[in-house]
Chains A and B, each alone.
Chain A
Amino acid sequence: MDFKLIPSTCSYCGTGCGVLFQVMDGRLVDTLPLKTHPVNEGKLCIKGWNLHEHVVSDKRLTSPMLKKNGQLQEATWDDAIQTAAEKLKAIIETHGPDSVGVLASAKITNEENYLVQKFARAVIGTNNVDHCARL
């Protein structure tokens, strides 16, 4: 029987509350707030309280998926990126660059967010950059 308590930081938003994960027998079972953390001082929002469910969920994607014949099927990274690029190009050609919007996120690094907006502005050619919280 193995019970570990691992401190970490919540990845949902930019606040970065301190959390304590309970790991039983190698499985993440529960999330607690860190009482002595300067950011949240022992409090969490509902997303933070349920981090463990998010991490171990069956619904998490494990490989890229492409829709073939109306059904999502597993695909390779190359196929997925190729399809996405082709479709995006087609849309930009038909409807113009401003028909595409790009959503950044607090769950990815600042460097990745920079790439997101650079991709939107330099590659696609649009100013439509926003945050996934607006979804």
Chain B
Amino acid sequence: MQEQVREWLEQGKVDIFLGYKNIQGHPLPHCFTKDNLDEVSELIVGNARYSLEKMATKIAAEHKELKIGLVTRDCNQRALNVLYVWNQLRPDNIETISVNCCPSKLKEHGDCSYLEPEKAAPLKMMIGIDNNMDVKSAEEFSQEDRYKRWIYELQKCIKCYGCRDICPVCFCKECSLEHTDLIATGSIPPEVPIFHLVRAVHMGGRCIDCGLCEDACPVDIPLRLLYRKVNEIVSDVFDYKTGTSADQSPFNMLGEEVTLKPKPI
């Protein structure tokens, strides 16, 4: 991989390459450039997941013509697809090197919806309802159980905005979660369940189930379960699986005529 990156930088196929490097014992994202080609020999894949595509989005916003290369796992690739759909990145300016997915030393179970997660991850204890469960098994619990469990989980929220700040497909300049008419300020936890439902609705058609939000949540709220449910609805009604392709999404059509036929519910 290092050979490939070196070649790309020398030939100008990419202007910068976002990969990982060991700094002070931590595998950290690093920007490799043509000026420091020696550093490419320290390029690693690393066992920590950072959202390199989010950094690329930020760079591309300031430097529109820059060609950016990055290391991608499956989740990064899906995020890139969504970012292409929403015009945050130009596919012509992005080159990727695909690497193996997790599991890794940091997470014992596979982290994606495409891999089978083991049920009880080491960091999450199973208290009643498993945090790692999928939508179908979650819906087998009674209505009352589900309600109580969700209120319990959402009340832990400390409104750190970590889920939104780290999300690779969150790019809105004016975030609804900071809109004073929607979300009241001045209390912790934020209005339960409005805060999380607003976010969940915005994740419909965008969330690619990478799990970075759950990683970033200091109180371990099962966010992925919520967003998986929303995307299940999107998939049922619009027949659209988020992140699988860079074609148009049913949500970013311009114009007044609806050309996609919604399926009957």
Binding site for B on A (CB under 8 A): 1, 3-5, 7, 18, 20, 22, 24-25, 29-30, 32-37, 42-46, 49
| Residue from B24, B63, B218 in contact with A7 in the complex, judged by beta carbons closer than 8 Å | B24
Give 8 A-B contacts (CB < 8 Å), ordered by A residue.
A3-B55, A43-B215, A43-B216, A43-B218, A44-B160, A44-B218, A46-B158, A46-B159
Interface presence of B260 (CB below 8 A): no
Contacts of B106 in A (CB 8 A): 35-36
B window 15-58: CB within 8 A of A: 15-16, 23-31, 48-50, 55, 58
Complex CA gap A88/B14 in Å reads 62
Chain B's closest residue to A31 (CB) is B165
The 10 closest A-B pairs by CB, nearest first: A35-B48, A3-B31, A43-B218, A46-B160, A36-B26, A45-B160, A49-B165, A36-B48, A42-B215, A1-B63
Contacts of A29 in B (CB 8 A): 58
Please state if B48 and A5 are interface contacts (CB–CB under 8 Å): no
Q: Tell me, rounded to whole Å, the shortest Cβ–Cβ distance linking A39 to chain B.
A: 12
Interface presence of B208 (CB below 8 A): no
Please state if B26 and A45 are interface contacts (CB–CB under 8 Å): no
Q: A33-B216, A35-B50, A49-B165 are in contact. Are A7 and B66 (CB under 8 A)?
A: no
Contacts of B62 in A (CB 8 A): 24-25
Contacts of A18 in B (CB 8 A): 26
Contacts of B251 in A (CB 8 A): none
Please state if A1 and B16 are interface contacts (CB–CB under 8 Å): yes
Contacts of B161 in A (CB 8 A): 46, 49
Complex CA gap A64/B216 in Å reads 39
Complex CA gap A49/B170 in Å reads 15
| Residue from A5, A20, A37, A45 in contact with B31 in the complex, judged by beta carbons closer than 8 Å | A5
